[in-house]
Amino acid sequence: MYVINEQTKIVNIWADTDINRQRLASGKYGVVEYRGEVEQGYDGTTYAKGYAPEKPEPTKEEVRQTREALYRAKKDPITCQIQSLRDEEQTEEIIAEIEALKIKRAEIVAKIKEENPYPESDQVTDQPTDQVVDKLSPVDIVNDNVSELEK
């Protein structure tokens, strides 16, 4: 049998036994019998249909940690493979394989960023350049300078 806490709309399953019927009738447990539809919340809790809370948007730090873990698991092995190939004699086949791996790595990074966007409230938008530079890490600045030199 389903029982519901009328304030929280959390639904529990109780075995349909005499003792549980007595508990329900006593009113001491703060629940009443429920015969409606239920749904599972993102946290695994069962709620009356329509009352399950929506999963909160992840924080900027949670997204950063998720991205970092995914980069380690999916991007870093490819980077290691590229580096190992760079240590070998640079034949046309090796160079072509390195380029293919670099493309694959870039696609993985783009997919990770697309699937794990930062919360809109934390994104930097339309700020003057001097304010944006303050938010860049030294690595970002070096990478930007290297990109400019490669042009």
The answer to whether the beta carbons of residues 35 and 2 sit under 8 Å apart is yes
Query: 148 pLDDT band (50/70/90 cuts)?
Result: low
Give tens-digit pLDDT for 49-98. 999 999 999 999 999 999 999 999 999 999 999 999 999 999 999 999 99
Residues 37, 68 within the same domain? no
Other Cβ atoms closer than 10 A to 34: 18
Q: Which residue has the higher pLDDT, 46 or 128?
A: 46
Report the distance separating Cα 26 and Cα 32, nearest Å: 10
Residues 103, 63 within the same domain? yes
In terms of phi and psi (left: phi > 0; alpha: psi -120 to 50; beta: otherwise), the region of 39 is beta
Query: 134 pLDDT band (50/70/90 cuts)?
Result: very low
Residues 67, 115 within the same domain? yes
Looking at residue 46, what DSSP letter applies?
A: E
Say if 150 falls within a structural domain: no
Residues 109, 63 within the same domain? yes
Residues 40, 84 within the same domain? no
Residues 44, 87 within the same domain? no
Residues 64, 13 within the same domain? no
Residues 67, 110 within the same domain? yes
Say if 146 falls within a structural domain: no
Res 120: pLDDT: 84
Q: Which two tokens stand for residue 109?
A: 């990074």
Residues 43, 61 within the same domain? no
Structural domain range at position 99: 57-120
Residues 14, 65 within the same domain? no
- Tally of domains in the chain: 2
